[in-house]
Structure 1
Amino acid sequence: MDHEKNQQVYPLAPPSVHPRSDAESAWSESEQELRRKKRMKLFMYIAAFVVFQTIVILIFALTVMRVKTPNVKIQTVTVQNLNRDSSAYNMTLIAEVRIKNKNFGDYKYDSAPMNVTYGGAIVGTGSIPKGKAKAKKTRRVNVTMEVSSNGVSDASSGISSGILWFNSQATLTGKVHLMKVMKKRKTVRMNCTMAVNLTSGAIQELSC
């Protein structure tokens, strides 16, 4: 017992505490700032990518996916087998019809009648055959029309002037096919005016 009493009790030493140096504190703050800057750059890259994708989609929608109405007009007309007297005429008109497709998809259209009128009366008719105008291409087809003054009450007045003014009309109905998944119906109307010289048998004016 005496031996135990003689033992001294020493208090536990407090844990050693190393004060944080200014260099360590500055390094920690620098690391946090670096991480913050990296996060900011990442957010900026993501935002830039989203903006870029939005612009690409918008351009795609306004160009590739935008459906435009094709254009149909008579490019040239050739007059054949012209016969006339003081009160009647007949001739063959061969028209080169141009179907211009401004879309990024094919325009498939049905056959359509093409009429020639004089003073509102139909004096000739032909047919534009069923076909397809490829994307961003122009299709040309020849349409033959037999024209006659039969049934025209005032044919003699036009014959005496030496110039016959005709109108030609046609309506094409079809669909524009985009990306093989989208189809958009488009109807195209053509209205052209032409002047036939009865002396030379040539087209003097052609306007569509």
Structure 2
Amino acid sequence: MVTPNISQNQKPRTTRTLKICLLVSTIFLIIVATIILSLVFTIFKPKNPIVNVYPIGLKNLKFFQPNLTSVPLNMVVTIKNPNYGTFKTKNSTGYINFQDTIVAKVPIGPNIFPGHKTTNVSTIADLMIGILISDQKFLSDVGEDGSFNLTAKATLQGKVHLINVLKVKATVNIFCDVFFNISSLDTDSYCITKIKL
């Protein structure tokens, strides 16, 4: 009695099945990659955050006290994340300038900025009053109408977490003009931001 050679008959069938599986898998991966890229460049396209700076406790600031070199300036920075991803940042430092002179450093701790939400960040700047009042331009500005302008710069570095799967390194550069009116104890700010992935 002769036993038929089964393995040789099944070999072409197994190879064909393997090729079909590989082809289907490749097509599936291409479709998934296309969908992800479409989402990244449309829905998940990064938008610049919206930032506002609010100095608080201005009535406690004593600009013209003798022998006073610095005063703490409490600040609240509101950051609205218009993106879908959550932005997790590391420790960083902001700088406040009058003209081209640094007059305060602003410590910014690590934070989490959820997507489509506004987060308040509280910090304290050690404002170097001694440097300010020794600047003739500052005295001229304040003497004219009781107001002056400062600029604030900060760079936030961290990672954007998308749909709990993708983690992308990101940097947000912030540049603000901050207006102070000593007479009315009023402030206003205008900020420009730029996100880089």
For the 8 Å contact 2:142–2:148, the answer to whether it is kept is yes
Amino acid at match of 2:185: G
1:57-104 deviation per Cα after TM superposition (whole angstroms, max 9, x unaligned): 37544445x351551522433224222339988654332212222332
TM-score by length of 1: 0.62
Amino acid at match of 2:168: K
Match of 2:127 in 1: 147
Could you tell me how far apart the structure 2 residues matched to 1:135 and 1:76 are? Answer: 22
Could you tell me how far apart the structure 1 residues matched to 2:156 and 2:50 are? Answer: 8
Match of 1:158 in 2: 141
Q: Answer yes or no: is 1:167 the counterpart of 2:146.
A: no
Could you tell me how far apart the structure 2 residues matched to 1:69 and 1:186 are? Answer: 12
Match of 1:11 in 2: none
Counterpart secondary structure, 1:103: coil
% identical aligned pairs = 24
Match of 2:162 in 1: 178
Structure ranking higher on relative contact order (CA contacts 8 Å, 6+ apart)? 2
CA RMSD of aligned residues (A): 3.0
Amino acid at match of 1:156: L
Unpaired runs of at least 5, structure 2: 1-27, 192-197
Counterparts of residues 1-208 of structure 1 (less than 5 Å): 57=35, 60-63=39-42, 66-71=44-49, 73-78=51-56, 79-85=58-64, 91-152=71-132, 153-154=135-136, 155-161=138-144, 162-203=146-187, 205-208=188-191
Counterpart secondary structure, 1:68: coil
For the 8 Å contact 1:74–1:97, the answer to whether it is kept is yes
How many equivalent residue pairs? 154
For the 8 Å contact 1:115–1:170, the answer to whether it is kept is yes
TM-score by length of 2: 0.65
Larger radius of gyration: 1
Per the TM alignment, residue 179 of structure 1 is displaced from its structure 2 partner at its CA by 3.0
For the 8 Å contact 1:82–1:201, the answer to whether it is kept is no
Per the TM alignment, residue 159 of structure 1 is displaced from its structure 2 partner at its CA by 3.0
Per the TM alignment, residue 164 of structure 1 is displaced from its structure 2 partner at its CA by 1.4
Unpaired runs of at least 5, structure 1: 1-49
Amino acid at match of 1:148: M
1:127-147 deviation per Cα after TM superposition (whole angstroms, max 9, x unaligned): 121011123222211122132
For the 8 Å contact 1:75–1:96, the answer to whether it is kept is yes
